[in-house]
Amino acid sequence: MSRYNTKQTPKQPDVINHQGGGSYKLDPKMEMVAILATGFDNTYYEKLTDRETRFKTLIVDIAKKEPEFVAKALVYSRAVLGQRSVSQFGAVALTPLLSGRAVARKFFSKRDKKANKGGIVFRLDDILEIVACYQHFNPGKPLPNSMKKGFKAALEAADAYELAKYQGKNKQVSLVDVVNLVHPTPSEMMQETFKQLMTGTLKQFDTVEDKNTKAGQEVAAKVKAGTITKAEAEKELQVAKESNYAELIKTRKIGYLALLRNLRNIVGTTNNTELIKEACEILTDQKLIKQSLVFPHQIDIALEVLIQEVGASKALPFVKACDKAYELAIPNLTELFTHGRTAVVFDSSGSMSSSIRLANRNQGSKSAIEKASLVAATLAKGINADVYHFADRCEEIKFNPLDSVNTLKNQFMRCQGRVGYGTSFNSIFSKIGKNYDRVFVISDMQGNSTLESYAYKNMHVYSIDLVGYGTAMFKPGNKVYPIYGYSAEMYEMVKRVELNITNVLREIEKIEI
């Protein structure tokens, strides 16, 4: 009998998931990261309030021993993953556990994007949301000193553009309210700006909305005075808007997301081919795409709205630019793996109809099946992988690799219902067998039976959880790499996780506050 090289017994599933199948309970840190990556919303199996409660419990339990890790994780979710509500709620939940700690004030400070260090305030409206969240859950209680000091420093470091843009005049908590709470001491150069802020006379500038609003007001005044007719006013307003777009685009003062939101307006305002060309150059600027934290699905939504409202033929230059921009919003996937065969398998079961929001709520929400199809299309095109989908059973999808990512996504979405609506993870490996070196499984990770671990033995498995219920069908470790949520950063993670499963946690540890 062997004394030292003893036989290992594989770990058995230790929890039942929402569909009744055997799963593996995630380590608390990984469960917290799963929520940070996938965000807040009502999902198929979990109400938003239940998710908030689960998230707060995780934060409290982890922060009792490692408060700085939780602080770094929240900053990571805001600055790297682009998540907002979940990081803001988390900041409030973490507040009591930071009391008396040196990191507290730094945590509530402004994030220095160039130096890549600092706290949870990525934009000034983060302050408004955190204060509103704190007051909601702590009615009548004053803001903690650490929060006050951090926000005070953030306001003192802000420029006039930020203060004007994020005033929050129509919000429950405005920037004026925050100033009255934290009492910043502006520099001599900023005193006039703060005075205008507090008197309600601070106007936005160098934004599309501001310039077009002013143009509309000026034209309306002329109509009221009788100097121009309504027909003349429409023409004059169109000329003014074209001039505004031209100025912002030529000087590159227009934000990347603002440009995406205004594509249909630009098409309806101008036929200036040179201006449209310059706008397309901004759309396809890889550096700007990275700096703006734009997600590929946001570009996809902008493209769909554009086509729906103005038509593909009329907006053809922007359609082509958006297609290219989507590709640039993810790393160069052709270099991800230089050897072996890859399968991409996405979940097309009924629960994948659940609606999920990502970072920017203004861009709306999409179903998990749509995001799964988009990820599948991106990986298939990027690394020349074979594509499958599964529910009650699993089947391969034949596709044209020369089609655009958007075309492939729509093709894959139409497969829902073709193989049933249940969720049998074992059907994946019964179908694909041992023919692949790696497999990407894109799902909400809720199955109706225990997944047999021997089915994927000796195969690299990338388990992409789009929803984050807190359970895993695949046991992390031993060539199984859990990835949570959908963002451009996900693809950067994929490049490295085959070497190190704890990559996400290590990336969080590197965060400087």
The DSSP bridge pattern shows strands 111-112 and 342-347 to be unpaired
Query: DSSP code of 4?
Result: S
Average pLDDT over residues 440-460: 86
Q: Is 232's pLDDT higher than 80? A: no
Mean pLDDT check: name the lowest of 35-44, 118-127, 210-219, 381-390: 210-219
Query: Is there a contact between 310 and 267 (Cβ–Cβ < 8 Å)?
Result: yes
pLDDT digits (tens, 9 = 90+) for 54-99: 999 999 999 999 999 999 999 998 988 778 899 999 999 999 999 8
pLDDT digits (tens, 9 = 90+) for 497-506: 554 446 678 8
From the number of C-beta atoms within 10 Å of its C-beta (0-12, 13-18, 19+), residue 479 rates as middle
Q: Is 9's pLDDT higher than 70? A: no
Supply the pLDDT for residue 300. Answer: 75
Query: Is there a contact between 498 and 339 (Cβ–Cβ < 8 Å)?
Result: no
Cα separation, 294 vs 222, whole angstroms: 39
The DSSP bridge pattern shows strands 111-112 and 355-357 to be unpaired
Query: Is there a contact between 117 and 512 (Cβ–Cβ < 8 Å)?
Result: yes
pLDDT digits (tens, 9 = 90+) for 184-207: 999 999 999 999 999 988 887 656
pLDDT, averaged across the chain: 84
> Tokens at residue 49, please?
């309030």
Cα separation, 376 vs 396, whole angstroms: 12
Cα separation, 299 vs 289, whole angstroms: 10
- Give bridge partners of residue 356 from the DSSP assignment: 366
Supply the pLDDT for residue 122. Answer: 93
Average pLDDT over residues 460-482: 85
Query: DSSP code of 418?
Result: B
Q: What angle do CA 213, 307, 266 make, to 5 degrees?
A: 30
| CATH of segment(s) 333-510 | 3.40.50.410
pLDDT digits (tens, 9 = 90+) for 292-343: 877 776 787 788 778 878 888 888 999 999 989 988 887 546 655 667 889 9
| DSSP string for residues in 102-147 | THHHHHTSBEETTTTEE-SBSSHHHHHHHHHHHHHHSTTPPPPHHH
> Which residues lie closer than 8 Å to 15 by C-beta, 6 or more apart?
22, 23, 24, 25, 471
Average pLDDT over residues 370-380: 88
Q: What angle do CA 296, 438, 326 make, to 5 degrees?
A: 10
